[in-house]
Amino acid sequence: MRDALIAAAFQLFLERGYEQTTIDDIVSLAGVGRRSFFRYFPSKEDVVFPDHEQVLADMTAFLQESEDADDPVVRVCDAARLVLRMYAENPTFSVQRYRLTKKVPGLRTYELSVVRRYEHTLAEYLRGRFAARRDGVLRASVVAASVVAAHNHALRSWLRANGQGDAEAEADHALAYVTAAWASGQSPSGSPEEEDDVVIVITRRRTPMWRVVRDVEAGLGPE
C-alpha cells in the first residue's frame, strides 16, 4: 500500500503538478482511504521523501556501532554513503524527485530540513569522538558540514546527469577531499595535529610564587 501511494502520488505530480494534486487525488488513484495515507505519511511532503526516515535511522545505528579504532572522519564519510546508495537504488525515482524539488520551493525547504538532520547526526557523533580536544565542537561541526557538502556535490552531479554514471565513484572522489584534510589526526593545513602536553612542576613548599610561575613558564616553553 505504501508503494502504491508513492506511485500514485508521483504519477499525479508529473501529470498535474505538485501543488495541484491533493491527498484526496492520491488516495483515489491508489484505491485506498485517507486514513491509509496518513498511516504511512504525515503530510503530502513526506510522500516525496518516503525513505529518509529509514536512512537516518540506519545512519544513526551505523555510527553507534563505531569502534574506538575507527577513524571518525572515515566513519562519517561511510555513513554519508548510505544516503547516496538510497538514491542510487532507484535512479528513475530519484531523478523525478530531484526535478520536482527544483520546481517547488516548499519541497526544497523540506529537503534542506532533511539535510540538516543528516548533518546534525554526523556532528553529534563527531562531538563525542572529539570530546577530548580543545577544538572538538568546532572540528565536529566543520567536518560534518564538509561531509554533507561533498556528498551533495556528488549526488547532484549524478542527478543532473539523469542518474547516469557511477554515483558511488563520484561520491568517493568528493569525499576523498574530506578525508585528505581531516582524517588520521590531520589539521586543516594537512600537518599532523599537536597533542596536548601535560607539564608537571615539582617545587618546595616554601618556594616563592614568582619562582613557581617562572618554572611553569619555562616548562611550557614558547607558544
Which CATH number characterizes residue 3's domain?
1.10.10.60
In sequence order, what are the beta bridge partners of 192? 186
| Claim to verify: residue 189 and residue 171 sit in the same structural domain | yes
| Claim to verify: residue 32 and residue 101 sit in the same structural domain | no
| Claim to verify: residue 90 and residue 35 sit in the same structural domain | no
Are 41 and 47 spatial neighbours (Cβ–Cβ below 8 Å)?
yes
Q: Which domain holds residue 40?
A: 1-48
User: Is residue 155 assigned to a domain?
Assistant: yes
| Claim to verify: residue 94 and residue 156 sit in the same structural domain | yes
| Claim to verify: residue 132 and residue 178 sit in the same structural domain | yes
Helices (H) and strands (E) in the chain, counts: 11, 0
User: Is residue 71 assigned to a domain?
Assistant: yes
Closest of 122, 114, 125 to residue 146, by C-alpha: 122
Residue 20 DSSP SS3:
coil
pLDDT at residue 197, as a whole number: 54
Are 160 and 101 spatial neighbours (Cβ–Cβ below 8 Å)?
no
* CA-to-CA separations, 137 to 46, 116, 125, 143, in angstroms, rounded: 32, 17, 11, 10
Residues 41, 25: Cα–Cα separation, whole Å: 15
pLDDT at residue 206, as a whole number: 75
Domain count, the chain: 2
Mean pLDDT in runs of 10 for the chain (223 residues)?
92 92 95 92 92 94 94 96 94 93 92 95 96 93 96 96 94 95 63 52 72 67 54
| Claim to verify: residue 57 and residue 155 sit in the same structural domain | yes
pLDDT at residue 99, as a whole number: 93
User: Is residue 199 assigned to a domain?
Assistant: no
| Claim to verify: residue 77 and residue 137 sit in the same structural domain | yes
Non-local (6+) Cβ contacts of 212 within 8 A are 201, 203
pLDDT at residue 194, as a whole number: 47
User: Is residue 200 assigned to a domain?
Assistant: no
pLDDT at residue 205, as a whole number: 73
| Claim to verify: residue 42 and residue 72 sit in the same structural domain | no
| Claim to verify: residue 26 and residue 66 sit in the same structural domain | no
User: Is residue 105 assigned to a domain?
Assistant: yes
pLDDT at residue 211, as a whole number: 72
pTM for the model stands at: 0.78
